[in-house]
Structure 1
Amino acid sequence: MTMSWKNEFSVGIQALDGEHKKIINMINALDGAIGRPEEQRIVQQSLSAMADYVGRHFRAEEDAMHLAGYKLLEPHRKTHNDFTAVVMGLARRKNLEAVELQQILVNWLTEHILKIDKDYAESVSTWMNALKRQH
């Protein structure tokens, strides 16, 4: 199951869009594990890499929201924490197939970007543009 970047995913912040694209690439990399004898090892390595990268991405988003004074930072942070818990739970599962992991990640990322991340985009963009005008 391959996921493609769509313009509707853009939050209008180049750095964060770039990070979202990297997450999509990580999801798509699981295609190479499907049906291989080492699928479980690859899935676990992918989950570990995903958890590490997504953790950094979440901090970048949250830092930007904090600096922009985004009013819904705490509920947004909760969605990040909830997803982190899901990933940790998946990492503990035995026999997690690459296709199942991809489906979970694609569904979560699509939902999160289109519904949750879109909410902060205007606040953070406004803040970033104000900073640019000051310099």
Structure 2
Amino acid sequence: MAIKWTEDLSTGIETIDEQHKELFKRVNDLMEACTKGKGKQEVEKVIGFLGDYVVMHFGEEEKIMKAESYPGYDGHKNQHEIFIKKFEEFKGKLEQTGPTVDLVVKMNGFLVDWLINHIKKTDRALGDYLKK
């Protein structure tokens, strides 16, 4: 199931929104690689990039939050840390078993749910704070 960027996901912070759009594209690339049986190497390549990109994106958000003395910084950062830990678990399983149907379904569900919920709630709250 592909995920689609919609304007209700916009934080109003151009750099963050552009990074979110790229994350959506990469998650969709991962899902496509998995569902089309493109092989373990292709899936590992996409997930490797996605992992690096997420860390860079989270770093950007955290830098902005610190610079703007965002009061929700600790909770937001904690959500990032939880995501990275879970993502690393999926990455490790992928390396062990390859892109099994069960793993792909769980990983895709997690990525889609987390991104949508995190952006709609946590990132939008940051965007609202920065607009004030």
TM-score class, shorter: 0.7 to 0.9
2:127 equivalent in structure 1: 121
Give CA deviations for 1:93-131 in whole Å, capped at 9, x if unaligned. 1244444432221111001001111111122234xxxxx
TM-score by length of 1: 0.84
Q: Which letter maps to 2:60?
A: A
RMSD: 1.6
CA–CA separation in structure 1 for the residues paired with 2:27 and 2:38: 19
Measured after TM superposition, the shift of residue 36 of structure 1 is 1.7
CA–CA separation in structure 2 for the residues paired with 1:96 and 1:107: 19
1:104 equivalent in structure 2: 110
Give CA deviations for 1:45-64 in whole Å, capped at 9, x if unaligned. 22211110010100110111
TM-score by length of 2: 0.86
Q: Which letter maps to 1:22?
A: E
Q: Which letter maps to 1:14?
A: E
Q: Which letter maps to 1:84?
A: I
The answer to whether 1:84 aligns with 2:84 is: yes
Deviates more, 1:44-53 or 1:7-16: 44-53
Preserved contact between residue 68 and residue 123 of structure 1 (Cα < 8 Å): no
Q: 1:81 to 1:105 in 2, by over 3 A?
A: same
Q: 1:46 to 1:100 in 2, by over 3 A?
A: farther
Moved over 6 A (4+): none
CA–CA separation in structure 2 for the residues paired with 1:101 and 1:45: 15
2:73 equivalent in structure 1: 73
Q: 1:22 to 1:115 in 2, by over 3 A?
A: same
CA–CA separation in structure 2 for the residues paired with 1:99 and 1:26: 16
Q: Which runs of 5+ in 1 are unaligned?
A: 127-135
CA–CA separation in structure 2 for the residues paired with 1:84 and 1:14: 23
CA–CA separation in structure 2 for the residues paired with 1:103 and 1:11: 23
